[in-house]
Amino acid sequence: MFAKTRIALIVAVLGIAVAPSAMAAPKDFCKLYAKVAVNQSNSANVLQLGCFGFRWHNWYDGHYQWCRSASTESARAEALVRHRALAGGQC
């Protein structure tokens, strides 16, 4: 349960860290995004949910580079999808 609470807190921080933008997400935001994405992927593995695909890999650089090419809003949405999947116990 601690992991889910921690993930929820991080997702909330992502939500208020940077104002929405149609431009590429800022570097500092993407560093946090990638860290959260890897933690979410690892949590899915620990919970044995069988999550796979681009959303669920644990490669920090891949998540970071994707975030830098996406809008802040898109990155927030992606983190929220992973959060909801973990909270619901399925991908």
Measured in whole angstroms, how far is the alpha carbon of residue 46 from the centre of its chain? 16
How confident is the model over 29-57, as pLDDT tens digits?
999 999 999 999 999 999 999 999 999 99
pTM for this structure? Answer: 0.74
Q: Is the pLDDT of residue 90 over 80?
A: yes
pLDDT for the residue 21: 46
pLDDT for the residue 18: 44
CA distance 80 to 72: 12
**Of 68, 70, 72, residue with least CA distance to 27:** 68
How many other C-beta atoms can be found within 10 angstroms of the C-beta atom of residue 25? 23
How confident is the model over 63-84, as pLDDT tens digits?
999 999 999 999 999 999 999 9
